[in-house]
Structure 1
Amino acid sequence: MKTARTVVALCVAIGMIAGCSVSSEEVATPSPQPGSTPSTTAKRVDPNTPAATQLRWFIDASGRFPLSDNDVREHFGPDIIRELGGSTDAVNARLSPFARLTLERLAPSPAPTAQVGIVATPDGKRLQADATVGSDGRMTGLVFVPMPAEPTSWNGVDERLRALAPEVSFTVDRIDDNRCIPVHSLNGDTQRPLGSAFKLYVLGALGDAVASKKISWDDTVTVRTDWKSLPSGVLQDRPAGTTVTYRRLADLMISISDNTATDHLIHSLGRDAVTAMLSRFGNSDPARTTPFLTTRELFVLKMSRYPQLAQRYLAADAAQRSAMLPELDGASLSGLPPWTTPRDVTDIEWFGSPADICRALTGLATMSTTPSGGPIAHALTINDGGILLDPERYTTLAFKGGSEPGVLTLNYLIRAHDGVEYVVSAMLSDPTKAFAEATVVPQALSVIRGALTLAGR
C-alpha cells in the first residue's frame, strides 16, 4: 500500500494498512503521572532527533548547492541515492529545484526517525518537508509537498471538501462544558467509515476498565500469534509470549495506529466492553458497527477469498455475523493478494459521524482528567497527525485518523491560544476509487487549518 521511504509521515499519522517501519522503541515516550491533563502533555518539538538533524542539515546545505560526494555519502542512504539517480551529479540534478530553502518551523513527531517541517522557497512558496532516516541515521526519504492555500470562507471550506471526495462529512465544534456546539457542519450527522479512528472507542473501553479497577495501566498482556494482525504497526513483529503493558498498547494503538496492539486490547478487554463504548460515547447508530470487528477480521473479510466471504457476511444478520467471527479469526493472513481498491467501504467497516467523533473525543478528554486518566491524554498527544498548526496559536490535544482504500478520516481536538477548544472532524469516502493520500491529505489538512481560523473569528 504505502512505502515507509516516501510517505512515512502519512503512514504514521493515519494508519490502517501501511508499510510503516517504525520500531517499537521509537514511540516509547514516558507516560505522564495519573491525573495529568491533555494541556500538560502536549507534544514539544525536539530539533535534535536523527530525522530533524538531517532535515535541518539539508535546508542549510540547500544554500550551498551543489552537494559534494562526501555530503551525499554521509547524509543519504544507498536506496535513496539509487532512486535519485545513483551518482552525486544525478542527486544534485534532482534536488536542484529545492535550492536556498529556509526553515519556518518543525512539527512535533511521534518518532525520532521521521520529521515534518514547513520550509519556504526564495519566491515565497511554502512547502511541507518530510524527512525519514534509517538505523544508521542517514536519510531514507526526503519529500517536499506544496502547502495548499487555506480556505478563507465557510463556502470555500465546503467547496474544497466536495472536490476531494464524493462522500464527505465535516464539522467544527466548539467544546463548552464537555458539549459539542456546532460552529460549521457539512453532513455532520451523517455516518461514514472511520478507518482506524474507531480505535478511540477501544481507548475509551481501556480507560473505563482501568477506572473501574478491573486492570491497571501497568498490567501486562501476552502477545499471541492468533491475535496478530497486519500493519500498520510494529507489535506483529514481536515474538509470541512477549508481554506488553496496557499503557504501551494504548500508545502504540493511537500514535502509530498499531493494528496488532488494537486487537490485543479488544480481545483482552472483551468485545462486549468495546461495543458498549459506542453507546457510552453517544454513537448515533451503534448497530451499524455490531459486531465490533477486530482489524484482523476486517482484513480477512476484505483480503481473503474476496468477495465471496464478504458477500456471505453482508447477507447475514447480526447474530449470523457474530457466529462467523471464529471462522474469520481462524483464517490465515499470509500470502494474501494486495488490496488497493475500495471494498465494501459503506458496509464492512466501523462507522461514525463527525458529531459522533466529537462526542468520543470529549468523552476521552473527560476521562483523561480523572485520577487514572493520564495515559489516555498521553496516547492522544504523541502524534499530532502532521497538522502543522502555529504553536503560538494552537495546542493539539488529541488526534486520530483512519484510512483504507477509499476511506480517509482526520479527527482533532485543538485548544486555541484564547483557551477555547474545538473538535474538527473530516471524513472522506469514495466507494469506487482509492485516494491519492500524498495529494489529498495535505489538501484536507489545509482545509482544517482554514476552518480553525474561521472558527476563531
Structure 2
Amino acid sequence: MRRTLVAAVAALALLLAGCSDARNDPPATSPSATEPAAPVEIPATPVGEATQWILGEMNAEDDTDPADWASRLHEDFTSQVSAEEVAELINTQIRPARPLVATAYEGTEREAVTRVEGSLGAPFDLSVVVDGENLITGLLLGPAMPPREAATSIDEVGERWAALPGDTRVLVTLDDETVLSTEPDAASPLGSIFKLYVLGAVADAVAAGTVSWDDTVTVTDDVRSLPSGELQDAPAGTEVTVREAAEKMISISDNTATDLLIGLVGREAVEAAVAGMGHHDPALLRPFLTTRELFALQWGGHDDLIARWESGDEAARRALLAELDGRPFEVGIEDVDDTVRWQHDLEWFANADDIAAAHEALHARGEADAAVTGALTMNPGVRIDAAAWPEIAFKGGSNIGVLTGSWRAVRADGAVLTLVVLSSDDTAIPLTTQSELFGLVEDVFTLLAE
C-alpha cells in the first residue's frame, strides 16, 4: 500500500502543473490553470462522509494536520504509510491546486471513487475505502481514468471482453437462450465467488434443522481473517447471528464471516454443497479452503508448503492444512503483495457453467427460505436500472491476478438473465481492466433491459 500511495501521488505531482513545491514557487500564471468544474453531491454514506472530510482537508486554509489523519486512518494503513507521510503528501502535492471540486462520484456504502478537479493541472481520482468503524483502510490518488464508452451491441461486449489482458471466460444467458459464451467450461479461479457454496451449505443446514439463522457465531482470534469485510476488526468475543454473518459474507465479502460459517457447518458440508449445487468437478474444491488458510499459504511465509500443496493429492492437501493449523498465523495487511499465486492452485476453482448452476441452486433454496435471497440481493455489484431489473442476485470476487463477477437477475417482464465473467492473468489486474470488465457488465444489463 505504501508503494502504491506514494507512487500515485508522485504521478499526480506531474499532472498538477507547478505543484512540486508550490509554497516556494507558486504557479499563479501557469498556462494549465482552469476554472473549477461544477461540483456533484456526495452521498451521506460512511465512505461519502470520509470523502467529504478528505476534500475538506485538501481545501482548508491551513495545512492538514497529521494528528487529524491519525484519528481517521486504520492501524493497518498506518503500519505502511504514516499519518505524517499522508499529511505531507497532501500539503505539498495536492493542496496547491485548490480549490478542489468533486465533479463525479461513484461508490457503495464503504468504497467510492471521486473525480476531483482543481485550479491547476488535470483531474484526478480519489479512491477511498472505510471499514465498519468508518476508519479509512484504503486511500489512493491517481490520474483520472478517461471516460468509458459504452458498448452498443452484445457482439461488441464480447469483442471487448476478449481483448482484455489474460483469460476472460464468459457466460450470458437469457432464459434458455445463450446470448454470449466464451470457454464457459474452462475452470478458472473464482476469488470470493466461492462464497456462494458456503451460503448453500448454510442454507442446507438450516433446512435440515441443525442450524438456525438466529443462532450466533463468535469472533475469536483463531478464526480472524484479513479484509475484505468488517468482522476482522471486531473484538474477540463479538457475536453475530448466522443471518448477519451470511449477509456480510455475500454483500461485503466479509472473509471472517465466511470462515465463521465454514466452521459452523464444517468443511465437509461445504464440499457436499459444491457437489449438490452442480459443480462439474467437485474435487477441484477439495479440500475446501477457508480464507484464513489461503492467506496463510499465500503470504504467511510458508513457501515450503506451497510446492507441496501444488503437487499434492486431496489426502496430502488435507494433511498439509492440519500442519498449517499448528503453525502461528502471522499475516497482516502489510504482508500482502502483488505476487500472483493462483497458478499454484492457491484459489477456489470452477467454470462459468458451474457458477450459473450455483446461482440456480441458490434461487431454488431462496424460494423456500427468504434469508438466502435476502443475502444475495443486498448488493447488485454494479450500477443497474432497478426498474428494469427488480431482482438482482450478485457475488463477485478478486485476488491478485483474479477478477470475477456473477449475477442472476430477473427482468421486469420475468425473463431471467444469468451473467458470469471470470478473468485471470499472471500479473495483477490494473484498474483500467477492472473498469472495462465491470463497465461491460453494465452494458449487458442496459442492452438486454428490453
Check whether the contact 2:227–2:255 (CA below 8 A) recurs between aligned residues. yes
1:382-421 correspondence runs (5 A): 382-385=378-381, 387-395=382-390, 397-421=392-416
Check whether the contact 2:295–2:331 (CA below 8 A) recurs between aligned residues. no
SS at match of 1:397: strand
1:428 corresponds to: 423
1:451 corresponds to: 444
Check whether the contact 2:227–2:254 (CA below 8 A) recurs between aligned residues. yes
C-alpha spacing 1:403/1:136, structure 2 compared with 1 (3 Å): closer
SS at match of 2:222: helix
SS at match of 2:409: strand
SS at match of 1:398: strand
TM-fit CA distance, 1:84: 5.8
2:359 corresponds to: 361
Distance 1:359 1:188 in 2: 12
Check whether the contact 2:116–2:124 (CA below 8 A) recurs between aligned residues. yes
TM-fit CA distance, 1:58: 10
TM-fit CA distance, 1:82: 2.6
Check whether the contact 2:305–2:320 (CA below 8 A) recurs between aligned residues. no
C-alpha spacing 1:264/1:101, structure 2 compared with 1 (3 Å): closer
1:322 corresponds to: 318
The question of 1:86 aligning with 2:103 is answered no
Distance 2:192 2:433 in 1: 17
Distance 2:160 2:197 in 1: 29
TM-score of the two chains, using structure 1 as the length reference: 0.73
Alpha-carbon deviations, 1:409-457, whole Å to 9, x = none? 1112233343322121111111x21112x22221111111222334446
C-alpha spacing 1:334/1:205, structure 2 compared with 1 (3 Å): same
1:42-121 correspondence runs (5 A): 47-52=43-48, 69=61, 82=87, 85-86=90-91, 91=94, 93-94=96-97, 101=103, 109-111=108-110, 114-115=111-112
Check whether the contact 2:249–2:257 (CA below 8 A) recurs between aligned residues. yes
TM-fit CA distance, 1:210: 0.9
* Partner amino acid, structure 2, of 1:213: G
Distance 1:101 1:278 in 2: 45
Distance 2:317 2:218 in 1: 28
TM-fit CA distance, 1:156: 2.3
1:261 corresponds to: 257
Check whether the contact 2:128–2:136 (CA below 8 A) recurs between aligned residues. no
Check whether the contact 1:77–1:138 (CA below 8 A) recurs between aligned residues. no
Distance 1:128 1:377 in 2: 35
TM-fit CA distance, 1:81: 7.6
TM-fit CA distance, 1:246: 0.6
SS at match of 1:164: coil
TM-fit CA distance, 1:220: 1.2
C-alpha spacing 1:388/1:315, structure 2 compared with 1 (3 Å): same
Alpha-carbon deviations, 1:292-311, whole Å to 9, x = none? 11112212222234532111
CA RMSD of aligned residues (A): 3.9
Distance 1:137 1:407 in 2: 26
C-alpha spacing 1:95/1:254, structure 2 compared with 1 (3 Å): farther
SS at match of 1:345: helix
* Greater relative contact order (Cα < 8 A, sep 6+): 1
2:173 corresponds to: 173
2:77 corresponds to: none
Alpha-carbon deviations, 1:88-141, whole Å to 9, x = none? xx6455466x758377xx76x344xx45689999xxxx9998566797899985
C-alpha spacing 1:415/1:146, structure 2 compared with 1 (3 Å): farther
5+ residue gaps, structure 1, are 7-45
1:272-421 correspondence runs (5 A): 272-334=268-330, 337-345=335-343, 347-370=345-368, 373-385=369-381, 387-395=382-390, 397-421=392-416
Check whether the contact 2:280–2:354 (CA below 8 A) recurs between aligned residues. yes
Check whether the contact 2:101–2:117 (CA below 8 A) recurs between aligned residues. no
Alpha-carbon deviations, 1:254-297, whole Å to 9, x = none? 12212121111112101111011112111111111111111122
TM-fit CA distance, 1:344: 3.7
Distance 2:183 2:341 in 1: 23
Alpha-carbon deviations, 1:159-191, whole Å to 9, x = none? 3223323212011122x4xxx642211111212
Distance 1:313 1:101 in 2: 49
Distance 1:306 1:137 in 2: 31
5+ residue gaps, structure 2, are 7-41, 71-82
Alpha-carbon deviations, 1:59-108, whole Å to 9, x = none? 9x9xxxx95628989xx968698366317xx6455466x758377xx76x
Check whether the contact 1:345–1:407 (CA below 8 A) recurs between aligned residues. no
C-alpha spacing 1:346/1:137, structure 2 compared with 1 (3 Å): closer
2:11 corresponds to: none
The question of 1:163 aligning with 2:158 is answered no
SS at match of 2:250: helix
2:16 corresponds to: none
Distance 1:365 1:441 in 2: 27
TM-fit CA distance, 1:198: 0.2
Check whether the contact 2:126–2:139 (CA below 8 A) recurs between aligned residues. no
C-alpha spacing 1:408/1:240, structure 2 compared with 1 (3 Å): same
Distance 1:362 1:71 in 2: 55
C-alpha spacing 1:142/1:342, structure 2 compared with 1 (3 Å): closer
Greater Rg over alpha carbons, structure: 2
* Partner amino acid, structure 2, of 1:448: V
TM-fit CA distance, 1:227: 2.2
The question of 1:204 aligning with 2:200 is answered yes
